[in-house]
Structure 1
């Protein structure tokens, strides 16, 4: 998809019956609360200033090609700049009356006790803001993250490192008696800073912040990244004594959970987490790519129709560790091939991969790109 096509797609998302490029109803709240957020130390983009005048007004510029032309896809999320240090963060608007455990669970994993643990792959919460004019509204301040598979992974080793971190992170949650209950693809993100040293526009992620050109990035082999679980809106934390808690089925983003289709009887959410993660790997890797077939037997056990037949996450981690030991450097450095590549694109990527890999071997970049904490 060309840059203009991507911008046009974004403009279609942002369009509304009123004048193109102007604030959508879901953005009005952010504009109205901009002065308060500024006081709290968070600066919004020009689009959300009370006196904003669109930059394309009176010019020949197309509104969707301007930095201030597009709003967020989700009205409850918006990027901001922390004025104390210039770091880009994300503000998430939530109602505790609807999601009463999200703040407690998020802050638990962000606590001093747990945040320094390398196995903790839960998105950190920097701060919780009380909205002054609505007692049932909070803003969670979190790091700016990016979809875990954007850009696509280049090697088998990069995919294996993703699996390792996700298994490790879910094990950490379960050891702390938390069931995520929605750990599917869109709720898995990555810290983009290693890949994008100059970062990108938060709303148009393929462009630089000033829209001047494409946002350039490294590969994960050259700059390893850390993956994080987000969105604890339907998660639950249990006591250490509750070994097999029972919860009424609650539908997350993945609508394929076998036990939910069979009945509405309460079930243990921990095996369901294992299903979610196994199905993510099946949908994002085993079906559309070639190169990670070695993990298929483990994944098929993780997505077993009978929850009692699924391995625990501890068993998943142990089996995965044995699998990784059997993979040599050549296998880990091999290209992750996407099935839908046409022959010309595949040839180009194969040639590029050969030269990249030669450089990485000579420069002694590890085949399994594990980031530092």
Structure 2
């Protein structure tokens, strides 16, 4: 599944508290077919102590730092060498997460091309803790890493996340936390030789930089992750009225006046999902990148203060399709420029972009690259 955004790492010679859990379960995981990195072996000795390498060049010197994602660890599946993610789930704290994740990964839902929910490979019961399950999922990357090259690549991303939320809502599932941290991409196409799980700019063996392609060359699939506070309803339960639970994006207007100590603060979570998706596009594209003004009217409606005035996901999908169809090939093939880009590096990026652009036009590569 899913992993965190490992943009910041803290090197250390000692395992920190969350890591000791994985070290203590290393042998059991190996018996289940999942191998942890050398850092988590019970007899681990830091490699820089026994080699001539500087510690910064040793892969076992790094660990995931982002605290809210410390329930995750990477592992290698021994049967085929695939990189996977393991997530600890407390049944008492998140009683619905595993059932919802398994439901969304089950047949026939798993074969629906509009299903953009992270697949569950396996669920493991931790032997020494009845309350804890491990979800085994593909190892994913943040949705914007590597960076978007063209507007068409971003439009393909928008299309997939709109489809994904439409799929969830059509099956009466409210995500309730579909913020930018919980939308990721499958790196299989982009990184055919994989990458290091912590230092993701490096190769899997930590030697040199990891080779990758643009989204136009090899379109990825995007996934929603983390169903810890999600809810699944029956048709007769609609529309639901749930106690407010604030996820990773606490800016939803319906949360601002709520006193979280009171139990009568309720809302319908489906319009909040719409807000989260709109706010993700607003913050990450309209505000931080040039050229996405075409999304402003739709996003403005999706983030309205009054949840009842926001479009449903079906209405938003219809409007997005109209927007996409109105964009010219020239616009779709234009370069995505981030507002924080340094002009010097932007010049070289522009040259590389134009070379790719001409080649794609000559080869008639689609301007909106979608996975098969």
Selected match of 2:22 from 21, 30, 44 = 30
Instruction: Give the Cα separation in 2 of the matches to 1:304 and 1:278.
Output: 10
> Number of residue pairs matched?
359
**Within 2, Cα distance between the matches of 1:77 and 1:85?**
21
Q: Distance in 2 between matches of 1:144 and 1:58?
A: 30
CA RMSD of aligned residues (A): 1.4
- 2:367 alignment partner in structure 1: 367
Equivalent residue, structure 2, for 1:313: 313
In 2, distance between residues paired with 1:89 and 1:343?
38
Q: How does 1:76-225 map to 2 (within 5 A)?
A: 76-225=71-220
User: Helix, strand or coil: the match of 2:275?
Assistant: helix
**Structure-1 separation of matches of 2:227 and 2:355:** 42
Residue in structure 2 matched with residue 339 of structure 1 by the alignment? 339
Kept after mapping to 2: 8 A contact 1:21/1:64: no
Question: Which segment drifts farther, 21-30 or 105-114?
Answer: 21-30
Give the gaps of 5 or more residues in structure 1: 1-6
Mark the runs of 5 or more structure 2 residues left unpaired by the alignment.
1-5, 260-264
Normalised by the length of structure 2, the TM-score is 0.94
Give the Cα separation in 1 of the matches to 2:54 and 2:10: 14
Specify the alignment match of 1:71 in structure 2.
63
1:348: Cα distance to partner? 1.7
Alpha carbons 1:220, 1:369 under 8 Å: kept:
yes
Q: In structure 1, how many angstroms separate the alpha carbons of the residues matched to 2:41 and 2:252?
A: 44
How far apart, CA to CA, are the structure 2 residues paired with 1:229 and 1:218?
22
Residue of 47, 55, 63 corresponding to 2:39: 47
Partner residue of 1:330?
Answer: 330
Q: Aligned with 1:121: secondary structure?
A: coil
Are the equivalent residues in 2 in contact too, given 1:155–1:334 (CA < 8 A)? yes
Q: For the residues of structure 1 that align with 2:50 and 2:92, how far apart are their CA atoms?
A: 45
Any idea what SS the aligned residue of 1:36 has?
Answer: helix
Q: CA-to-partner distance for each residue in 1:265-290, whole Å, 9 max, x for gaps?
A: 21100000000000000000000111
Q: Distance in 2 between matches of 1:352 and 1:43?
A: 39
**What is the correspondence of 1:297-308 to structure 2 with a 5 Å cutoff?**
297-308=297-308
SS of 1:337's equivalent in the other structure is coil
Residue aligning to 2:251: 256
Q: Distance in 2 between matches of 1:332 and 1:296?
A: 16
Determine helix, strand or coil for the equivalent of 2:135: strand
Rounded to whole Å, the distance in 1 between the matches of 2:213 and 2:103 is 33
> Could you say which residue in structure 1 is the equivalent of 2:3?
none
Contact 1:182–1:234 under 8 Å retained in 2: yes
Task: Check conservation: 1:274, 1:312, Cα contact below 8 A.
Answer: yes
Q: TM-score scaled by structure 1? A: 0.94
Greater mean alpha carbon deviation, residues 144-153 or residues 25-34: 25-34
